Structure 1
Amino acid sequence: MSYQIPKFRHPELPVNDLGYTKADYEGSISTLCAGCGHDSISGAIVKACHELSIPPHMIAKMSGIGCSSKSPTYFLGKSHGFNSVHGRMPSVVTGAAMANRDLIYLGVSGDGDTASIGMGQFAHVARRNLNMVYIVMNNGCYGLTKGQDSATADEGSVSKKGDANVFSAIDLCSTALQMGATFVARSFSGDKDQLVPLIKAAISHRGFALIDVVSPCVTFNNNAGSTKSYEFVREHAEATGTVDFVPMQKEITTDYEPGSSHEVTLHDGSSIHLYKMSENLDPFDRTSALMNMENHRTAGDILTGLIYMDKDSRDLHDVLETSRRPLNTLDTEDLCPGNQMLKNINASLR
């Protein structure tokens, strides 16, 4: 039996600045388990891209292997896409971004795809500050292979079969901070009000932007004793503050008293508003971010929201001083300027 999304849409659906409805950013019908948090994340991506009025053909969505890496099929059906091998999505994005810097690169991965087989690639793409959004759909288990604990499963977290994990967890946000990531955030698949603005901000940030999204596995890891379950996250999530992404063309207003909100302007001119920030967290200081994450981890809480952002980020193209023109637009004369040019280069090095 096959299923298709109905093509009929209400004629008065709201449109964005490009004249597109949200349906223009959707994909195929999901085949994930009913209630899977990954589908909520897909919905948040659709909403963010629609509200930012991004032309779908200007987005390239990449993934590896796993339940999370199936999800790009279910959003941005009119965008470019590439499903790579297990743990190797960052290499594919790096190659694509070097060839065409004009596209927006959205990488989707899982906790196994990132924190186990892909850990080396994750660390290096973060330290190189590749201009991409890296979303981890983190459920703490291997959903495609019957729910074994992944590397992000917390020590003592109990699986569906009743066994407690005996190993310490890899915290992807802390790892990204230590490796030099310039945008780090964490959210919960069940909190779209927080997740959508974070995705918008990550897309607008120039550099490597990680969003680690706790996404409960309803089949294998949503039981009592699991620290990745809906109930546990709702009871232990501690937000850094209310995050609101404000496009530059819209008027910026606030009713808060002076000192209770913080605004930062991104490279594209848009702004992030941070309301009622934790007194102990400075989201623009890497050390403060690391200390707050560790304090919340020790207390058994999950810190969510914008954790860190470098306002002066220089992405990989800036560091390497690559051509402003995408490499895939250069012709033979640009790439092979001739023997005389080579002689001039050699002479300049003597």
Structure 2
Amino acid sequence: MTPNPPLTPLVLVEQALLGSLLLDPSRLAELKDSLTPAAFSIAVHSAVFAAIQELPAPDPVEHIAGPAWLDKVLATASSKTRGVDAPYLHTLIQATRGLGHLPAYSTLIADAHARRRLHDRAVHLAGIARDASFPDPVATALRAAEDLRAELDAWSPPTTGVRAPPRPDPPATASQKAVDRAADDELHLIASAVAHPEEAAALRAWIRADEDFTNPIRAGLWKSVTALLSRHAAVDPLTLLCEAQHHGVLADADPRPLLATLSQPAGDLTYWAAQVLSRSVLATADRTGRAIAHYAAEATLTPTQVSLGSHRALAHFDAVRVRWQHVTAPPPAHRETVVARPGPRSTAPRTRTPVR
């Protein structure tokens, strides 16, 4: 059965490259190990390329005289996957274009393969960020982000002279249970900050209202806390409510329910900060994964744009990760300073060498 792959531009490029190698196997050396069988988009092409790599190149004169080497390619490739037959090898040879374009075809195929791998890693990261079943979801997401970064760093298209693509705006997908949990954590953080302004002053640089809070009202309340702290003003539930009006919070709402919440702090401030930032890390990992998956799958973007956009998305994720690590890092171990004490004074008589 002759394979009938969809004739996308990439498939046509793969056919042209394979056809060139079938016509002149010695040209495989021009690729300099830039391609592997896995780089091809369909199994038939992977099998044919693997066979060309495995078989010794034929004598040029004998290759022109007869199809003996092509028969070996057919036998080797068909043993690796179904669908490889003599008519399709003929199709590949007919697809050959300019023999001098082999390096360009190789680059196109390698870039497409890198985009597919990047897409798969990005989808994996986004999936992990939304999966609450892991014992330590933040650590799992960080490992997945490093795997994604390694995949991106292994691919190096040119990065000059091209602007990065616009950031996509993926929709939020949090469940109602997750939304409610986030609201509780954020309110507990704000209430604890009001109760312990000295500790809150040390944390305000590491928690960003516009990035780490899931609701604009609670984000406005945190901005109000940091504004009071920056002015060294008195911080309590009432001063916070008055400050919040300057940030557009509680314009016409009854302040008494919020006043009651702010007046009953519970738990450690650092604990609630870690909870809020952990959720921010996972939310950013989700957005980062989906953004990079979008870049990698978007055919209108060049490889350079995909690379630039992906690096930018990971840089934003790194900024959130650094803030989370600062807040959750264990305090430095207390080290006792050992003060050297003078030993017992010697009671032996002192002797002095006479001067001659």
TM-score interval (norm. to shorter)? under 0.3
Q: Structure 1-normalised TM-score?
A: 0.23
Q: Whose helix proportion is higher, 1 or 2?
A: 2
Higher relative contact order (CA 8 A, sep 6+): 2
Q: Which has the higher strand share?
A: 1
TM-score when normalising by structure 2: 0.22
